[in-house]
Amino acid sequence: EKDPTLVVAVDFLFWMLYGSRVQGVQRLVRLEQGLALLERFPCPVVVGEIPDMRAAVGLMLRARQVPEPRILALANGRLRAWAAAQPGRILLPLPAILAQAGTGEPPPAAFLDLPGPEAGPWLQEDHLHPNLHGLTLLGGLVLDYSAAQIPGLGPEDLILDLEVVEHALREGWSRSEILELAR
């Protein structure tokens, strides 16, 4: 209804697979329902592959809320096929990004100069939710992947200085203040 130009749905499909309302292959049925909802958007859509968040069991998740590795593999295979078959579907490789975060090394990025291990952890102590640093990095990667795949969108259209973005988030700056500092 609002005629969006870009939909960022990085974790939208996560709860289609996670949770205790469905189990086993029913999780894949829910994934298909989520994909059908995303197909309604004529604009580019950024979605994330489904990561294995088993490390959060006992902290934020119960074991029965986590899909089995076989289901995760099937779901991510389906997501890759879905994204490849539809123009304007941008797939963020969250499992690889999180694996890289665990090493402290930044994931590869086309336009971003991501900080290394000295920047600290990306996830909160619950091993499920990103902290402010992780949100900043994730947002930057969404922009980076989008700029690499959307014709006409380039790094000059984006604020890719993650230190500026993170500082602005901490201070609650307005968009105009952020743009002023980034220029």
Kind and range of the H or E run holding 181: helix 175-182
Is the confidence at residue 162, as pLDDT, over 90?
no
State how far the Cα of 166 lies from the Cα of 1, in Å rounded to an integer: 31
pLDDT of residue 174: 74
Higher pLDDT, 127 or 29: 29
21-42 burial by CB neighbour count: b if 16+ within 10 A, else e?
eeeeeebbebbeebbeebeeee
pLDDT band at 169 (very low <50, low <70, confident <90, very high): confident
pLDDT of residue 125: 84
State how far the Cα of 66 lies from the Cα of 72, in Å rounded to an integer: 9
Q: Which two tokens stand for residue 57?
A: 């069991």
pLDDT of residue 26: 92
State how far the Cα of 66 lies from the Cα of 52, in Å rounded to an integer: 8
Percentage above 90 pLDDT, the chain: 28
**pLDDT tens per residue across span 10-28:** 999 998 999 877 888 899 9
pLDDT of residue 103: 65
Give the contacts of 102 (CB within 8 A, at least 6 positions apart): none
State how far the Cα of 35 lies from the Cα of 121, in Å rounded to an integer: 31
pLDDT band at 156 (very low <50, low <70, confident <90, very high): low
**pLDDT tens per residue across span 73-132:** 999 999 999 999 988 899 998 888 877 766 666 666 655 666 555 566 777 787 877 777
Averaged pLDDT, 128-140: 77
DSSP 157: G
Residues paired with residue 131 on neighbouring β-strands, in sequence order:
none
Expressed in percent and rounded to 5, the helix, strand and coil fractions of the chain are 50, 10, 40
